Chain A
Amino acid sequence: MAGIWIYSEDIILAKELVTPAKELAKQAGQKVGAIALDAEGAKELAALGVTKVIVLQSSSSWVEAYEQAVADVLQDEGADIVLIGGTVRGKYTAAKAAARLDAGLLTDAVKVMLENNKLIAERFVYGGLAVTTEELSFPAFVTIPPRSYEIMTAESEQGEVIVKEVTAEPGITVVDAIKTQQQGVDISKADRVIGIGRGVEKLEDLTMIQALADAAGAEVGCTRPICEELKWMPIDRYIGISGQVIKGSLYIAVGTSGQIQHVAGIRDSKVIVAINTNEKEPIFAASDYGIVGDYADIVPALTEALQNAKA
């Protein structure tokens, strides 16, 4: 079955991809297929109206080991367009599958369109400084970041699920896989986030920042130097183009200059607030509301104002 194919090892992300896939399929007069790694997830995709869902089963628990099997299915089905969820494992699979199919691949597409039998996508380059419009002939592979689309649960014709036994031998051995014991929060899913940058002068001020976060019902993230150089926060709190990308309602930037790579991670926030002593910093141009002032004065005042608003 040619048409538009979806793959993600993360079923929620796979369901999100059904939305753009159906759009493209409608335009192309084609159907949507999907590849899944578990039968339960496959049923959910079929229920969303994916015509054919192929479940790959093997003894391997390493997601990356399935890349060859994924490529084989796409090759056999004659897929025209392939949308793959842009997780670390998804990008791995996409690049290898595209290589096996001699196909082009556009990474982290923020918009996908069809035009004259070509797949067009927009994506960020130069650390978020610029946007490109890029074009591929078929077969065209694209990776799409999580939470780029809403899951649409419309009335759909139930698709079929086919289970396929495959060999998945990656030539390596997984020794172990441990969930990192951080503060247990995925800030990329948070609706409100406070981000700190180099303008925050001392580690002790994190208490003040946490108080603001509590008052705002927010999580705390940071810019790269805070994690890598100062090591004040673990790397999974880094907000930026190669870190966490947040897409919530509110982002408050405390002591961040507004470097492109950081702004690329906050650009989809509904409202951006900046607190910085230097009015000329690029973060102000990237904000809806900017406060020119010392965070040591502003943050406690803001915390109190938020607490009063809740009371």
Chain B
Amino acid sequence: MQNILVCYKWILNEQEIKIDPNTLSLDTSRAKKRISEYDKNAIELATQIVEAQGGSSIAISYGGADVKQSLKDALARGPERAIWVNDPNSDKADAYVTANALAAAVRQAGGYTMILCADTSADASNQQVPLRLAVLLGIPAITCVIKLDVEGEKVIATRRVGDTTEKISVEGPAVYTVLPEIAQPRFPTVKQVLAAGRKPQLELKVDDLGLESEKLTPKRTLREIKGYTMSRKNIVYKEGTPAEIAAQLVNNLIKEGVI
């Protein structure tokens, strides 16, 4: 019987963020929020394990009041209930604060057999929270998992680490970070979406977690954020036969010293 906690993040859809070409400032006014793409793979894995092994999964998240809007989507993907931490200062939070808040939420969830997370978020890509969480909870962590074989209390995690495939055997609760290829997320059916609305949701106000203020004070200060631009030559060939264009390009590449 599995008791899986699966963490997810409610983030701006980066495809909808516009960059002002002159100031390079970010315009997020048209960007909607969604569950970070890679978290959907983790939630799907949790659901598949529960379907095979029995038990249940709980979706866990940390963020601002608007995380409430994410719960239906998360719950429609299989978890039995959701626990989320509401922090009015989550916009300034870093991985240190996030991990502290999630650890406190996890302690309120009761027991667990495993904690699943994506290896990275699609917005900040810090790749830290799951590992910090493991240290705070005093359990092992395995990253970059592409396959999880669960046999009761024993788990064999297959990892992709650079050019190596590694198999790790784990007994007891652990944090696993998974790569997107581990499980294709399902499209929730209408029935699943409707059922999601009836599943229990527990909101924890960050001040009620019993954490010292130091634990909720970020270590990292964001000084500036601006759009990335590359200045490239932008020379475009449209006219001429393929042979003519190819000859011109090769000439230029020779001049550039790259061939």
User: What residues make up the interface of A, taking CB atoms closer than 8 Å to B?
Assistant: 87-89, 91-92, 94-96, 98-100, 102-108, 120, 124-137, 170-180, 182, 186, 192, 216-217, 228, 235-236, 241-242, 249-250, 260, 263, 267, 270-273, 279, 284-293, 297-298, 300-302, 304-306, 308-309
Whether B165 sits at the interface, judged by CB under 8 Å, is yes
List, sorted by A's number, 20 A–B pairs whose CB atoms are closer than 8 Å: A92-B131, A95-B132, A106-B220, A126-B14, A126-B17, A127-B14, A130-B26, A130-B225, A132-B223, A133-B223, A134-B221, A136-B221, A171-B140, A171-B170, A177-B164, A180-B164, A192-B259, A241-B125, A285-B234, A304-B243
Residues in chain B near residue A289, CB distance under 8 A = 233, 235-237, 249, 252-253
| Complex CA distance for A179 and B126, rounded to whole angstroms | 27
Residues in chain B near residue A98, CB distance under 8 A = 96, 128, 132
Contact, CB under 8 Å: A298 / B169: no
Contact, CB under 8 Å: B125 / A173: no
Whether B160 sits at the interface, judged by CB under 8 Å, is yes
Contact, CB under 8 Å: A180 / B170: no
Tell me the smallest distance from the CB of B223 to a CB of chain A, in Å: 4
| Complex CA distance for A212 and B104, rounded to whole angstroms | 55
Q: Which 6 A-B pairs have the closest CB atoms?
A: A104-B219, A95-B131, A301-B242, A305-B246, A99-B135, A126-B14
- A126-B123, A288-B233 given as contacts; is B224 within 8 A of A271 (CB)? no
Residues in chain B near residue A131, CB distance under 8 A = 225-228
Whether B30 sits at the interface, judged by CB under 8 Å, is no
Tell me the smallest distance from the CB of B216 to a CB of chain A, in Å: 13
Contact, CB under 8 Å: A291 / B127: no
* B166 to A, closest residue via Cβ: A177
* B133 to A, closest residue via Cβ: A99
Contact, CB under 8 Å: B136 / A292: no
Tell me the smallest distance from the CB of B184 to a CB of chain A, in Å: 9
Interface of A is mostly: mixed
Size category, B interface: 35 or more
Contact, CB under 8 Å: A242 / B166: no
Residues in chain A near residue B249, CB distance under 8 A = 273, 289, 291, 302, 305
Tell me the smallest distance from the CB of B11 to a CB of chain A, in Å: 9
* B94 to A, closest residue via Cβ: A104
* B223 to A, closest residue via Cβ: A133
Contact, CB under 8 Å: B219 / A137: yes
Residues in chain B near residue A305, CB distance under 8 A = 243, 246-247, 249-250
| Complex CA distance for A137 and B217, rounded to whole angstroms | 13
Interface of B is mostly: mixed
| Complex CA distance for A102 and B167, rounded to whole angstroms | 30
Contact, CB under 8 Å: A288 / B161: no
Query: Which residues of B from 185 to 229 have beta carbons under 8 Å from A?
Result: 218-228
Tell me the smallest distance from the CB of A171 to a CB of chain B, in Å: 5
Contact, CB under 8 Å: A125 / B124: yes
Tell me the smallest distance from the CB of A21 to a CB of chain B, in Å: 21
| Complex CA distance for A138 and B247, rounded to whole angstroms | 55
- A285-B234, A302-B246 given as contacts; is B140 within 8 A of A130 (CB)? no
* B257 to A, closest residue via Cβ: A249
- A175-B156, A182-B163 given as contacts; is B168 within 8 A of A96 (CB)? no
Contact, CB under 8 Å: A172 / B225: no
12 more CB-based (< 8 A) A-B contacts, given A131-B226, A131-B227, A285-B234: A88-B143, A92-B141, A104-B94, A126-B122, A133-B225, A134-B221, A136-B221, A216-B259, A228-B181, A235-B181, A292-B236, A305-B247
Contact, CB under 8 Å: A286 / B232: yes
Contact, CB under 8 Å: A125 / B125: yes
Contact, CB under 8 Å: A136 / B220: yes
Contact, CB under 8 Å: A129 / B222: no
Contact, CB under 8 Å: B127 / A174: no
Contact of B219 (CB < 8 Å), options: A103, A260, A271: A103
Query: Which residues of B from 147 to 194 have beta carbons under 8 Å from A?
Result: 156, 160-170, 172, 174, 180-181
Contact of B253 (CB < 8 Å), options: A174, A176, A250, A263: A250
- A92-B141, A279-B238 given as contacts; is B166 within 8 A of A174 (CB)? yes
* B229 to A, closest residue via Cβ: A285
- A96-B135, A129-B17, A178-B164 given as contacts; is B245 within 8 A of A291 (CB)? yes
Tell me the smallest distance from the CB of A190 to a CB of chain B, in Å: 13
| Complex CA distance for A100 and B99, rounded to whole angstroms | 12
Contact, CB under 8 Å: B238 / A135: no
Residues in chain B near residue A100, CB distance under 8 A = 135
Whether B49 sits at the interface, judged by CB under 8 Å, is no
Tell me the smallest distance from the CB of B179 to a CB of chain A, in Å: 8
